[in-house]
Amino acid sequence: MHPIVARSCAGCHVEGGIAPFALATWNDAYVRRSLIRAQVESRQMPPWPPAPGCSEYTGDRSLKDQERETLLSWIDRGAPEGDPSDGQPVSTPPQGGLSRVDRELRIAAAYQPVLAPDEYRCFLLDWAETERRFVTGFVAQPGNPTIVHHVLAFLATPDRAAQFQALDDADSAPGYRCFGGPGGTANLLGGWVPGTVGGDFPAGTGVPVDPGSKIILQVHYNLANGVGPSDQTSIRLKLDPSVSRPAFLMPWANPSWINAGTMDIPAGAADVSHSFTLTPGPYLGLLSDNLLAPGRFTVYGAALHQHLRGTRSRLEIQRAGGARECLLDIPRWDFHWQGGYTLKTPKVMERNDSLSIECHWDNSATNQPDGLPPRNLNWGEGTGDEMCIGFLYITQ
């Protein structure tokens, strides 16, 4: 297999993977050369939502311009079979990435998805530690890679655990149905999408987890090929009793969108946008549940989240002196390919720097995932609601 395909495609396109076909041989690629051309030209594949030129991230799956030209030129020349000795063996991404595994948490009972083509299910994982521990690394292990499309892990603090337990208790099947989020206030802890692996968090940093907490595992099942077998996904964690820089996954959204319903997205509007800018430094204690003190802080990574009618979103640092720095830009939002992105070079935000988020939606009649006439939308957890929220992995 050509090195480009082996590196950027074959991690998902393997037998038994989430992709609908394998790309393990020249013939696999040859018979799908027209599809490959269309996907590469449009930059739909390999999936890498961040816009080029914003920031640089670790684990970038996107094709370099020269790599795109190489693939497209190969197809233009009739996709000839090269010298097999020049190829590289196809290998799946390593099932790990942690320097050590201190705790593995698994969905308590196997679950067989029943909704096609997509089902979003949340599962509660008990936290057995009796003292505060810091999560210093995260890896998700899909129990059934043929149907697991992505995994998000949320942290429910002890004072919020009961509300999620109630959601779980109200559903007779393992877990409970969820979509936009876990069904309440819980901070993102980690995530996984096909073709990526987790690993250690930035050296010296970690997210504190107190006794009595719950981990909420949201699993997106894709049943495009019909109802599949059961799944029992797990996560592996690296834990430490202390870190030099406690970390917090800070959510970033306009409180009035959530509390007062001011994120109006009128029915029929093809391009609606909302934005929010605030200087977080003076309020860092409040924003981080007093984990961090007011003042400057360091951003190591970021994520963005919208629902099905989202079209694009952006996180930006606005320096006190007037300069602007792009943190994360998703120019073509796809709910099914969301993820978190670790900066190659962390960014320091001074006390008086501002953070801005902007989201766009298409609520026109031609962009209704349920096929029904458009209706007025606002903030909410449901499939038919919307969100505009960022998450930043930060330390003091």
Tell me the pLDDT of the chain averaged across its residues: 89
3-17, 118-132, 231-245, 332-346: least confidently modelled range: 3-17
Do the beta carbons of residue 141 and residue 234 sit within 8 Å?
Answer: yes
Compute and round to an integer the Cα radius of gyration of the chain.
21
pLDDT grade for 17, boundaries at 50, 70 and 90: low
Fold of 103-243: Jelly Rolls (2.60.120)
Taking the C-alpha atoms of residue 273 and residue 7, their distance in angstroms, rounded to an integer, is: 37
Task: State yes or no: pLDDT of 123 exceeds 90.
Answer: yes
Strands 205-209 and 245-252, by their bridges, are parallel
CATH of domain 247-395: 2.60.120.230
Question: Is-above-0.95 flag for pTM?
Answer: no
- HSE, CB side, 13 Å, CA atoms: give it for residue 231: 31
Cα–Cα distance between 326 and 185 in angstroms, integer? 27
pLDDT band at 28 (very low <50, low <70, confident <90, very high): confident
pLDDT band at 24 (very low <50, low <70, confident <90, very high): confident
Q: Which of 214-228, 294-308, 378-392 has the lowest mean pLDDT?
A: 214-228
Domains of the chain by residue range: 3-86, 103-243, 247-395
103-243 matches 247-395 in fold = yes
Q: Where in the chain does DSSP place strands (E)?
A: 103-106, 118-126, 133-141, 148-156, 176-177, 187-192, 199-200, 205-209, 214-222, 234-240, 245-252, 272-278, 297-305, 310-318, 324-330, 340-349, 354-361, 389-395
pLDDT of residue 225: 61
Give all strands (DSSP E) within 168-213, no chain letters.
176-177, 187-192, 199-200, 205-209
